[in-house]
Amino acid sequence: MAVNLAPPDPSQLHPVAGVELGVAMAGVKKPDRKDLMVMRLAPGTTIAGVFTRNRYCAAPVLLAKRHLGAAKGVRALVVNTGNANAGTGADGERRALRVCEALAAALGCGVEQVLPFSTGVIMEPLPHERLVAGLPAALADLRGDNWRSAAEAIMTTDTVPKARSAHLQVGGRKVTVTGIAKGAAMIEK
């Protein structure tokens, strides 16, 4: 349970130039729940990743690492909740790749320019058909000020969406930093 953590005020979450977020209800695990988020990045955006060193990585981790290493500029992240696509082997990688392919086709970019992320229940096949079917709604929802909704769409057992934003001066230039996070437990009830 969150302690002294209030839900973020959407008016306090500042847009970041070149970043748009869209969410949808794809029905991954529960109906009428935001469970799919797309983050579209403007061409020329620089991105880095930090990944687990565990040798038993989930399918989206393996695919995201490969895509990040091969990409000539990442254009999108696709995140689902309700299913971690972990412990699913080669089939899980194929399913994650199908989602990346569908998003790449919709955005007109290379499949390696899409990074997949999944959170939720382990050892269950990713319902990639539902995610692919939800992509048009997520893309139609793309907005620069959609941070609160995106934070809600990546929640698993969280009780409160987590997001913060700040304006900073870096090298004499005003910079906006906005981020979302998830995580409250690692046990499925």
Asked whether residue 188 is domain-assigned, the answer is no
- Residue 189: the pLDDT is 45
What pTM does this model have? 0.93
Asked whether residue 47 is domain-assigned, the answer is no
Asked whether residue 189 is domain-assigned, the answer is no
Residue-by-residue pLDDT tens, the chain, 189 positions: 456 778 899 999 999 999 999 999 999 998 899 999 999 999 999 999 999 888 889 999 999 999 998 878 999 999 999 999 999 999 999 999 999 999 999 999 999 999 999 999 999 999 999 999 999 999 999 999 999 999 999 998 888 999 999 999 999 999 999 999 987 655 544
Distances in whole angstroms, Cα of residue 169 to Cα of each of 5, 17, 182: 27, 15, 27
Asked whether residue 48 is domain-assigned, the answer is no
CATH number for the domain including 82? 3.60.70.12
d(CA 78, CA 56): 21
Asked whether residue 61 is domain-assigned, the answer is yes
Contact 21, 147 (CB under 8 A): yes
Asked whether residue 3 is domain-assigned, the answer is no
Asked whether residue 124 is domain-assigned, the answer is yes
Total domains present in the chain: 1
Structural domain boundaries, residue 134 = 10-41+57-181
Per-position b or e across 158-183, b if 16+ CB within 10 A of its CB: beebbbebeeeeeeeeeeeebebebe
